[in-house]
Amino acid sequence: MKKIIKDYWLFILFVIFMLISFSFGIEAGKGIFNNFYDFFLTMVQFVPAVFILIGLFDVWVEKETIEKHLGENSSILSYLWAIILASTTIGGLYVAFPVAATLYKKGASPRIIFTYIGAAAICRIPMTLFEASYVGVKFTALRWGISIPIIIASSILLEKILSEKDLEEISA
């Protein structure tokens, strides 16, 4: 029982808060529940398909191909490949992380994985089009021009700072 409480304390607290909110008519709690419910339905609808695609990627793409284009001895083009892959990732970081884990398992270097995750956070095509339509193409280009070099530099730095043990713990 203690292990359940220790592992799920946040969820238990959420359920208690929801019960209190609905019992006493607290509108903020009802709004939080509605947001949670909408997000949950969205996840249930498209995450299974994403994981099927990740599984197919894991089976169909050869490890040697990933190592050649994204591995330790890959060229500077590997950053471009990571950014292109990240820009086409649908679903945000909760999809990008499992893809990154699969890439790492297949032999992609940590700096490329970190570049992919960073680019997935800021360079997705739908987000970029939305941003450009509201704040302008000039701003979007400037943001990309500043963000991408910073992502690449921080990825290289992270790879140098983290030990192999740290990287194995991250991917576990």
Per-residue model confidence (pLDDT) at position 8: 87
Consecutive 10-residue runs of the chain (172 residues): their mean pLDDT?
80 90 90 91 85 89 92 92 91 85 91 95 89 94 95 94 75 62
Q: Residue 51 is encoded by which pair of tokens?
A: 């994981």
Per-residue model confidence (pLDDT) at position 114: 95
Record the pTM: 0.78
Distances, alpha carbon 72 to alpha carbons 2, 157, 159, in Å:
44, 15, 11
